[in-house]
Amino acid sequence: MIDHAVNLARADSPFRVDSLLRAAAWTGCLWIAAAGSIADEPPAFSGARSFKHLEAIAALGPRPSGSPGMAKQRELVIAHFQAAGANVSRQAFQIRDRRTGQPVPMENLIVEWHPERTDRVLLGAHYDTRPFPDRDPVDPRGVFLGVNDGGSGVAVLMELATAVRDLPGPIGVDFVLFDAEEYVVAPRDPYCLGSNFFARQYAAACQAGTQPHRYRCGVILDMVADRDLEIFQEQHSVGWPDTRPIVDDLWGVAARLGVRQFVPRPKYTVEDDHVPLRMIGRIPTCDVIDFDYPQWHTTADTLEHCSAESLEAVGRVVLEWLRGLE
Ligand SMILES: [Zn+2]
């Protein structure tokens, strides 16, 4: 509101400036009250800014595990989160490529906000892209950009940074970017390698008594930028008794905010990063995914099929949910 008045004053005649100032003087109390409420307003999630992040990620090209594009993306997101005030740690591991027998270096990124808070929530997304668009009817060995599938979760987390930094206690948040969710070249290649590794490390540390904090719960964001966004509830997340309340809370928040892209009905069963987090790490984790995406695993998973509005719908719901946790 204040920005708007300043712009008006700049653009308009001196008479206009004068009258604005006079109005401000006359309504001094009101003006101060309004300024106070604006200053206290917590940061909002901007779909437009999130989409800018998505564009920057897309500009890096394909980002499969171990590729130069992935290395560039890693630099980009680490710099972004560090500049916003997070602790970023790199959890390195290796897998052997089944085609070549060569080791492929992998890294999960753990982005910690308020590390002193011991009651923590995990927000995760995979940040690798599939090596090939193998569902593409024309060019299944072509270029896979993975803007929605791989880019969108990262773009939401990048935009959430400031708001989560300013999140009042007691909940601490970790963003975890998982490598190798789909380092899949042959039909029987395993999925979710990064989240498996992360969950095993976490479970082992909990058992050894060396884990300094516990995750109360987690949410995975995957394929959330589709311009025709429709997020049905994922079947594992609805069926597990410890994740069902997370689903109810998230979709409840969406209903309250009037975010119609969250459809309060179960539809698909998806083997995503939430499965190892819950089954191995024992972190109740829900998957937020729009699985109705015609461009899924094709060369057409590009920016033009994604939208800022969709990113904003998801970011707003997740942020409001975080703010409501007690
Ligand atoms: Zn995928």
This prediction's pTM: 0.87
> Is 136 found in the same domain as 21?
no
Ligand 1 centroid from CA 274, angstroms: 14
Give 57's pLDDT tier (boundaries 50, 70, 90). Answer: very high
Residues less than 5 Å from ion ligand 1, measured at CB: 149, 182
| pLDDT of 1 above 50 | no
| Residues 258 and 224 grouped into a single domain | yes
Q: Where are the beta strands (DSSP E) in 58-169?
A: 87-96, 103-113, 119-126
Q: Is 305 helix (H, G, I), strand (E, B) or coil?
A: helix
Of the candidates 59, 292, 99, 274, the residue with the CA atom closest to the CA atom of residue 183: 99
- Ligand 1 centre and the CA of 130: distance in Å? 6
CA 39 / ligand 1 centre spacing (Å):
41
Query: Beta 285-289 vs 214-222: how paired, if at all?
Result: parallel
- pLDDT for residue 29 is more than 90: no
* Structural domains in the chain (count): 2
Least confident of 33-37, 106-110, 229-233: 33-37
CA of 43 to the centre of ligand 1 (A): 31
Above 60 in pLDDT, residue 31? no
Does one domain contain both 244 and 286? yes
Report how far ligand 1's centroid is from the alpha carbon of 68 (Å): 19
Q: How confident is the model at residue 221, as a pLDDT?
A: 98
- Distance (angstroms) between ligand 1 centre and the Cα of 23 equals 57
Instruction: Based on the fold, state whether residues 178 and 30 are members of the same structural domain.
Output: no
Q: Are residues 113 and 30 in the same domain?
A: no
Distance 235 CA to ligand 1 centre (A): 18
Q: What average pLDDT does range 89-95 have in this prediction?
A: 96
| pLDDT band of 216, cuts 50, 70, 90 | very high
| pLDDT band, very low/low/confident/very high, at 22 (cuts 50, 70, 90) | very low
Task: Count CA atoms within 13 Å of residue 269 on its CB side.
Answer: 3
Residue 109 has pLDDT above 70, yes or no: yes
> Percentage of residues in the chain with pLDDT exceeding 90?
82
**Do 284 and 240 touch, CB atoms closer than 8 A?**
yes
Which is more confident, 101 or 19? 101
Asked if 86 and 147 sit in the same domain, the reply is: yes
Query: What is the band of 39 on the pLDDT scale with cuts at 50, 70, 90?
Result: low
Per the structure, the complete domain to which residue 217 belongs is given by 45-324
Q: Is the pLDDT of residue 33 over 70?
A: no
- 3-state helix/strand/coil string of 222-253: ECCCECCCCEEECHHHHHCCCCHHHHHHHHHH
Instruction: Please report, for the domain that includes residue 123, its CATH number.
Output: 3.40.630.10
**Measured in angstroms, how far is the CA atom of residue 270 from the centroid of ligand 1?**
11
Q: How confident is the model over 178-191, as a mean pLDDT? A: 90
> What's the 145 CA to ligand 1 centre distance in angstroms?
11
Shared domain check, 156 and 18: no
pLDDT in the model for residue 313: 98
Average pLDDT of the chain, as a whole number: 89
What is the tens place of the pLDDT at every residue in 262-279? 999 999 999 999 999 999
Helix, strand, coil proportions of the chain in percent (round to 5)?
45, 20, 35
Same domain for 248 and 148, yes or no, is yes
Please tell me the distance between residue 147's alpha carbon and the centre of ligand 1 in angstroms. 10
Together in a domain, 166 and 131 = yes
Q: How many angstroms does the Cα of residue 154 sit away from the middle of ligand 1?
A: 14
CA 75 – ligand 1 centroid, Å:
22
* 73, 13: one domain: no
What gap in Å lies between CA 262 and CA 255, rounded to an integer? 8
Q: What is the mean pLDDT of residues 76-86?
A: 98
Q: How far is the CA of 272 from the centre of ligand 1 (A)?
A: 9
Determine the pLDDT at residue 188. 83
User: In this structure, are 315 and 191 located in the same domain?
Assistant: yes
Distance CA 198, CA 107 (A): 10
The reply to whether 175 and 100 lie within a common domain is yes
